[in-house]
Structure 1
Amino acid sequence: MLNITVWNENRHEQNNPKVRDIYPNGIHGAIAGFLQDEGLKTRTATLDEEAHGLSEQVLQETDVLIWWGHLAHDEVDDLIVENIKKRVLEGMGLIVLHSGHHSKIFRSLMGTTCDLKWREADETERVWVVDPSHPIVEGIGEYIELEKEEMYGEHFDIPAPDQLVFLSWFEGGEVFRSGCTYQRGQGKIFYFRPGHETYPTYHQPDVQRIIQNAVQWVAPIERPAPVYGNAQPIEHIKVKQQD
């Protein structure tokens, strides 16, 4: 069975009554809840826990890490970020949500600023499926529509995705690459845009289905780790005669 860790900085929920009303158990609690409803083994971790709740033991036991952050990216310890990156390169799956695009771990894995345009104006977001063959869109129609969301707009300063799964259109006219996959080392990464804290986005069934599908897609594949360094020959190497 997969072991999933849902990480959230958990600051908005402590300081903003509106967010607390929408997510009384925190954004991490809401995401963990609908994953647990699907029979998935899920734990949560937050910024203010020791080691941000992501000790080496927790990371070693984690198959898929889901990341939500916004206010406190700079408070995440660099050593923890390196430990997460090491685990991704070893094969741990990573799902980065919404404003996690500016997290230290996502920027480190992308190698770019990950900057974008943004606006809070209660806009409709239409999230179009642009790769209908991808496993992450199983059970999803041509698009999903969110009545109110924060706008993210291009240009999004990320490397070209390995696969572009979703493209968002906003009421104000912008578009955005809102569902992107990457592979780094042995690990798979999925960035998914929706999820502003003052909207009930993670209660939306299609959003939940996408995250559930993404968990399965980024999950590690059981196989021996690659071997690096100086290698002995597999076949006999004939001694070449010197002229």
Structure 2
Amino acid sequence: MIIAGNWKMNMTRDAARSLVTALSDDRANAAGDSQMVVFPPAVLIDTVCAAASGLAASGLAVGGQDCHAMDSGAHTGDIAAPMLAEAGCQWVLVGHSERRADHGESSAMVADKARAAIRAGLKVMICVGETLDEREAGRANEVVGAQVLDSLPEGLTADQFAIAYEPVWAIGTGKVASPDDVDDMHNHIRAVLTGRDASYDRIDILYGGSVKPDNAEALLGLDNVGGALVGGASLKADDFIAIARAAG
């Protein structure tokens, strides 16, 4: 079970240190075996890694919110996967709907970024999800299944990646997919994954989209939900800790 926090374009250095300290204190006393990952903005990665490594029982992994498909080069404003690894990251997020929409990233581009992450020794969290129009047109399974297959490079082993399902219409809107909807989609994603490789039956499939303390237990209790990718609630220590505790 993975509980991941995507900080997006938020946080200051002082706030990041305070949050990491609070999360570390909770992890030191946590009874369950869930893993906690935070994805800070790039300029805060060193701060978060330093804070986490300075706490003996932090239990935190750190990831980048994106990486370039190339390892170096003339790509102004981009960050290479080896840079993230050198900064102390263990994970990188690729294919988030905000990247797909705001930066025109296709699933083929996402797959290239995933390959770069794996080359750098990072684990990759691949995001997929349908829009409201696609869901209402009855195409949710088709769209998400294609995103999974097209964003996932061939040859990855089960310990190198996770999938995060985030229905686009539920991100930051306060709308949450019903447990039945989440269960159906996660079962579909599992079938798509194992159709590619039988060993993918143990891949963590996270749910994201307005995950909060009051709905976390119901969502994380579903059979094929292997964690949560949390947005706004991951910026508040009490909320993020409550979600992590719901994971057991």
Which one has the bigger helix percentage? Answer: 2
Q: Which has the larger radius of gyration?
A: 1
Structure with greater strand share of residues: 1
Normalising by structure 2, report the TM-score: 0.33
